[in-house]
Amino acid sequence: MHREIPSSNYVHKRRTSKLERLSKKHPFLCVGLPFLMAVIGGTFVLLPLQQTKYEVNDRKVQSVSLEKLQSMKKKKKFDIQEEYFKMKAEGVWGEWEPKRVARPPEEEPVWDRQDGSKNSV
C-alpha cells in the first residue's frame, strides 16, 4: 500500500485554514487577548518612567534654599484695603468716573441700539 505524501502547498492551506477556524471560533484569542496584554504591559513599562518624573519634581521642590525660604516669610501679605487707602492718599482715585465706551455699530448688541434696527450677522 503506497500512500501519497501531500504537497507543501496542500499542507500550507491546511495550516492557514486551522488558524482561520480558530480565529473565527475564538476571536478573543486573536484580537482581545493581544490588546489586553499590550495595555497591561504598557502599564508596567510606563509606571517606572512616571515614578521617575515625580521623584525629579520632588527634588526640585525640596531644593529651595533656607535663605529663599526666609525671604519668602519676610514678604508682606497683600491687603486690598491697604492698597485702596494708599491709592486714595496718592490721588489716583480723585477724578475717575465710569463711562461707557462707544462701540462700532456692528458690535453693539441688538437690545442696546437706539435706532431699533436689528443686527444682520
C-alpha cell at 71: 525671604
Residue 8 pLDDT level (bands cut at 50, 70, 90): low
d(CA 54, CA 61): 11
How far is CA 4 from each of CA 9, 16, 67, rounded to the nearest angstrom?
14, 21, 92
The predicted pLDDT at position 20 comes to 81
The predicted pLDDT at position 38 comes to 94
The predicted pLDDT at position 115 comes to 59
Mean pLDDT score across all residues of the chain: 76
pLDDT digits (tens, 9 = 90+) for 79-104: 888 888 888 888 766 677 788 888 77
d(CA 43, CA 17): 35
